Amino acid sequence: MPRYFLEVSYRGTNYSGFQTQQNAVTIQSEIEKALAVLKGDLSPVLTGSSRTDAGVHALQNYFHFDTDMPVTHWRDIIDQDRFLYKLNAILPADIVVKSIQQVIETAHCRFDALSREYKYHIYGSKDPFLAGRSYYFPYRLDREKMNEAAAIIIEYTDFSSFSKRNTQVKSFLCQVQKSQWIDTANELIYNVKANRFLRGMVRALTATMLQVGRGKMTIAEFREVIEAKDCTKASFAVPAHGLYLVAVNYPDSYFK
């Protein structure tokens, strides 16, 4: 049966997360509802590539689905542009489907992903245009110490200390490929890339490094938090609205 990948982007403010939940409005439930309008009773069930929590945004995320009917035949939709236009016209303004691509039947948007990349946005001066899209944190920060802490993260693979307790994962091992703080004109951004992430991991890393930046934790103590493998040692105290999933990466030529 043909398989398709949907590339999506969304602002997560109004949603209870990415994946379908009982009695909750999610990104998946909204897209499945829109597909049902186009395909009727045979609307497909979506599989997601990377879960995001309530309030978290995504510049790029993926679903895949199977259908025995070519997408171009759905309700007289004659080409991809027309399909995307109709689907996006049904979806809320804060969700957009950016592309749809047919892939081999064994392709899996979650298990085939090589890496995922996140950014956490912080701003220190009051700005109405960043409110709700970045975390307002009006404190003096030692950027050099924060980047030193960010570099240390790459040395480790066990991130038990930065995972929420209510998780069903069997392994807390992650291969972090990039970890750095970026200073822009208006924001301080933590950029991290890894083969996988644990639940709450990016926010916990960010919040704990902010403690380093404020001088409330030394670099040595930051190492101790990582090595403790105990989530009670880390801070999780940053809000969801500053976090963005910016990319899900697949092998070269994966979509060809």
Catalytic residue IDs: 53
Q: State the average pLDDT for the chain.
A: 91
Higher pLDDT, 181 or 21: 181
pTM for the full model? 0.92
118-245: CATH topology is Alpha-Beta Plaits (3.30.70)
- Which of the following CATH numbers is that of domain 3-111: 1.10.3720.10, 3.30.70.580, 1.10.10.10, 3.40.640.10? 3.30.70.580
Instruction: Round to whole Å and give the CA distance between 205 and 201.
Output: 6
Is 13:30 a contact under the CB 8 Å cutoff? no
pLDDT surpasses 50 at 66: yes
Instruction: Round to whole Å and give the CA distance between 30 and 15.
Output: 10
| Residue ranges covered by each domain of the chain | 3-111, 118-245
The pLDDT tens digits for 37-50 are 877 655 678 999 98
User: How confident is the model over 159-187, as a mean pLDDT?
Assistant: 91
Asked if 3-111 and 118-245 have one fold, the answer is yes
The pLDDT tens digits for 167-176 are 777 889 999 9
